[in-house]
């Protein structure tokens, strides 16, 4: 049986690179750059330049803490529109090398090149990876790191080692040949394996298991006695590079989300609802731009004491309009607020169960039961608002509930 030829492409410092391209005279000139918020805000770091990471700044760190570690860093918000456009441009280049491309996130993709040897002139997988990397940079201005192997797991781990970070000899491409998976994995710490989070790391460390090679001498029954049957089976396979999951092309994203961290805690329900509807408008606009509709809506609320709560609901039919999604989101927010009335630090919304908009219309046409929560007029109005904003900017039109920005 022919071995699989899997690549994992990971855009290098994606959010930092896009922020620099979007603002060449500002962020583009700042070696010390933090993407994720503004000084004085209470957001978290989305990404940081390699120079900034040398100061200890890491993703998900509060902006205030990051600036204490690196006070000279420039801090900018995430350029969401530019990030979305750049991600789509990279995916388009990757799709020319194989039809089997799976988007793992906005800046990561899996490619299955099994059976494409003749298409690429029977060159090695490494040679193809180098060409892909150069093509992406030439056409998008972005550098990607590419790992390759016989499974998605090995390819992802190899891509991490391929990143040309300062102080390393990595070149941007790392291919693990068939049969070499074991030797490669033995060089890794267990913490580097996807799925081995802090709690599992602590448990494994208590058993004297820190590196992949520490686990290999133990059989399944021993691991099961320590960890339980299912975790033991999972770990036994991962440390040996066993991972048979296929690369699954997805025409749509798993979800579209937006969230906002307040500069001051918000306790007023009306103000929270207004902020939530503004976030819904942004997420729904992206939904419609991609010709999608959402089956489910999830609202996220983080209280002042950092307690994070979620509420979700699946609609009777897929939704795409600001009004219908907003009404559903506000009802979920009301549910969360009734359960616990603490001032809020953050509010967010996620749209999931995404389907093509034309499929949504068919589902609505044949759906039984009560009248649909979204009318044709709702969809038409939202699309008309999209056209106005596209031509005149986001501030050209807003709903009465949208919070006004105060002048600085």
Q: How far apart are the first and last CA of the chain?
A: 65
Query: Could you count the other beta carbons within 10 Å of the beta carbon of residue 107?
Result: 22
Q: What are phi and psi of 214, to 5 degrees?
A: -70, -25
By DSSP bridging, strand 74-76 and strand 33-35 are parallel
Strand, coil or helix: 217:
coil
10 annotated to bind ligand: yes
Q: Which of 51, 102, 108, 233 is catalytic?
A: 108
What one-character DSSP code corresponds to residue 77?
-
Q: Which two tokens stand for residue 143?
A: 């550098």
Give CA separation, 374 vs 2, 68, 284, 348, in Å.
50, 48, 13, 22
- Is 108 part of the annotated catalytic residue set? yes
By DSSP bridging, strand 308-319 and strand 255-266 are unpaired
- Rounded CA separation 50/402 (Å): 37
173-175: strand order across its sheet? 101-105, 108-112, 6-11, 144-149, 173-175
- Rounded CA separation 356/324 (Å): 17
Following DSSP, what letter does each residue of 105-171 receive, concatenated? ETTEEEEE-TT-TTTTTT--HHHHHHHHHHHHHHHHS--EEEEEESSHHHHHHHHHHH---TT----
Q: Which of 57, 93, 56, 99 is nearest to 75 (CA)?
A: 57
Instruction: Give yes or no for a contact between 130 and 97, defined as CB atoms under 8 angstroms apart.
Output: no
Residue ranges at the known binding site for Mg(2+) = 10, 107
Which residues are known catalytic residues?
Answer: 108
> Binding site, residues?
10, 107
């Amino acid at each position: 049986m022919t071995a699989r030829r899997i690549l994992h492409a990971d855009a290098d410092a994606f959010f930092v690179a896009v922020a620099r391209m979007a603002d060449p005279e500002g962020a583009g000139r700042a070696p010390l750059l933090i993407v994720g918020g503004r000084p004085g805000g209470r957001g978290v770091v989305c990404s940081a330049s390699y120079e900034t990471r040398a100061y200890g700044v890491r993703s998900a760190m509060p902006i205030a803490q990051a600036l204490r570690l690196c006070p000279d860093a420039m801090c900018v918000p995430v350029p969401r529109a530019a990030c979305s456009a750049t991600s789509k441009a990279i995916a388009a280049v990757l799709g020319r090398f194989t039809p089997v491309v799976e988007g793992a996130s906005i800046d990561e993709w899996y490619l299955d090149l099994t059976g494409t040897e003749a298409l690429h002139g029977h060159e090695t997988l490494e040679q193809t990876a180098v060409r892909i990397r150069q093509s992406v940079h030439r056409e998008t201005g972005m550098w990607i790191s590419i790992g390759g192997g016989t499974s998605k797991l090995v390819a992802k781990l190899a891509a991490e080692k391929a990143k040309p970070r300062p102080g390393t000899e990595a070149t941007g491409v790392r291919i693990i040949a068939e049969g070499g998976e074991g030797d490669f994995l033995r060089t890794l710490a267990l913490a580097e394996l996807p799925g081995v989070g802090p709690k599992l790391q602590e448990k494994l460390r208590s058993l004297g298991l820190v590196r992949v090679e520490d686990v290999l001498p133990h059989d399944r029954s021993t691991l099961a006695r320590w960890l339980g049957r299912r975790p033991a089976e999972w770990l036994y396979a991962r440390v040996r590079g066993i991972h048979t999951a296929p690369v699954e092309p997805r025409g749509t994203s798993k979800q579209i989300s937006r969230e906002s961290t307040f500069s001051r805690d918000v306790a007023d329900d009306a103000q929270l609802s207004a902020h939530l509807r503004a976030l819904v408008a942004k997420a729904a606009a992206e939904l419609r731009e991609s010709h999608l509709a959402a089956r489910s809506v999830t609202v996220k609320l983080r209280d002042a004491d950092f307690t994070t709560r979620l509420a979700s609901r699946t609609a009777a039919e897929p939704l795409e309009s600001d009004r219908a999604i907003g009404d559903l989101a506000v009802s979920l927010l009301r549910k969360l607020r009734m359960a616990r009335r603490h001032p809020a630090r953050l509010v967010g919304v996620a749209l999931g169960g995404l389907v093509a908009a034309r499929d949504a219309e068919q589902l609505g046409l044949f759906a039984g039961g009560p009248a649909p929560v979204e009318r044709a007029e709702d969809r038409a109005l939202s699309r008309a608002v999209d056209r106005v904003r596209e031509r005149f900017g986001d501030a050209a039109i807003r709903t009465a509930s949208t919070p006004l920005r105060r002048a600085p």
